[in-house]
């Protein structure tokens, strides 16, 4: 089945530092989605990437899709305490999504 690896599993940063999580697939992807789950909450859709090499920005968040469409990254500039949570990538398999293992981000003052 579809293999989706995310690294790191966990990262603890000081507020103001940058953060990056990576998602790697064993196969070429048609597209990739990113979700955020706050502690005690549910996954919430952030963005979808479709094109090779695509870069999209949402305020301090930058999402990138690899040229070979096998990997993706999410970069947060100058983290804030509101960024705390687990970030998941998700890739399509038939009509369903396979979620990555997630990267849990902890931000302290």
Which chain residues interact with another protein by CB under 8 A?
30-31, 33, 41-45, 48, 50, 88, 90, 92, 94-99, 101-102
Q: Output the smallest distance, CB 73 to another protein, in A.
A: 19
Q: Output the smallest distance, CB 82 to another protein, in A.
A: 19
Return the number of the residue (71 or 101) whose C-beta is nearest another protein.
101
Return the number of the residue (48 or 77) whose C-beta is nearest another protein.
48
The residues near 47 (Cβ < 8 Å, ≥ 6 apart) are 33, 34, 56, 58, 61, 63
Q: Output the smallest distance, CB 6 to another protein, in A.
A: 10
Separation between Cα atoms, residue 9 and residue 17, nearest integer Å: 18
Q: Output the smallest distance, CB 14 to another protein, in A.
A: 25
Neighbours of 86 (CB within 10 A): 20
Return the number of the residue (64 or 103) whose C-beta is nearest another protein.
103
Which position has the token pair 């979700």? Answer: 35
Return the number of the residue (42 or 59) whose C-beta is nearest another protein.
42
Establish how many alpha carbons lie within 13 A of residue 109's alpha carbon, considering only the half-sphere containing its beta carbon.
0
Could you give the residue ranges of the DSSP H alpha helices within 2-108?
none
DSSP 82: G
């Amino acid at each position: 089945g579809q293999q989706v690896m995310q690294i790191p599993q966990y990262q603890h940063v000081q507020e103001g530092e940058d953060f990056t999580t990576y998602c790697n697939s064993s196969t070429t992807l048609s597209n990739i989605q990113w979700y955020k789950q706050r502690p005690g909450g549910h996954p919430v859709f952030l963005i979808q990437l479709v094109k090779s090499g695509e870069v999209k920005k949402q305020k301090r968040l930058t999402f990138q899709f690899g040229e070979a469409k096998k990997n993706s990254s999410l970069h947060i500039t100058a983290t804030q305490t509101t960024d705390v949570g687990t970030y998941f990538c998700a890739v399509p398999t038939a009509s369903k999504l396979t979620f990555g293992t997630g990267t849990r981000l902890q931000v302290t003052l």
